[in-house]
Structure 1
Amino acid sequence: MLAAAEAAIDDGAENDAERQRNRAKLYTPPRTAEGRRTRSPGLRLDREQAQALMAQIAAEDSKLAGRRTS
């Protein structure tokens, strides 16, 4: 759906510079009331979450490494 919207916007542009400006507007995150850019809440990890994720990845890596050598 996003690709179709992007194609429609590109079709309406008169030149490459306008296409680039349109893409920048389309993909730029929204601003808060204070004027700062926001991130999705799912993109932030605290220290404990990051360590748990690294431990999970290490466990999966060792499991896969064990399967390759067998």
Structure 2
Amino acid sequence: MLNASEAAMDAAAEDDAERQRNRAKLYAPPPSERGRGRRRRRPPGMGMDRAQAQSLAAQLAAEDARLGARG
């Protein structure tokens, strides 16, 4: 679908500069996504604060030590 749009816009363009502007417009992100930068947003509930991360790291270290003691 984009190929057909791009071809139609190229045919209507008068010069290369206009073709380039048309392509930039055609492939630009939607207005709702502009200004957010290139970072992907996490789904709600997937974030972790510093205390939670430290707690998880401590749990991992304890489990690692427990499993290492068996060997």
Q: TM-score band, normalised by the shorter chain?
A: 0.3 to 0.5
Q: Taking CA–CA contacts closer than 8 Å with sequence separation of 6 or more, which of the two structures ends up with the larger relative contact order?
A: 2
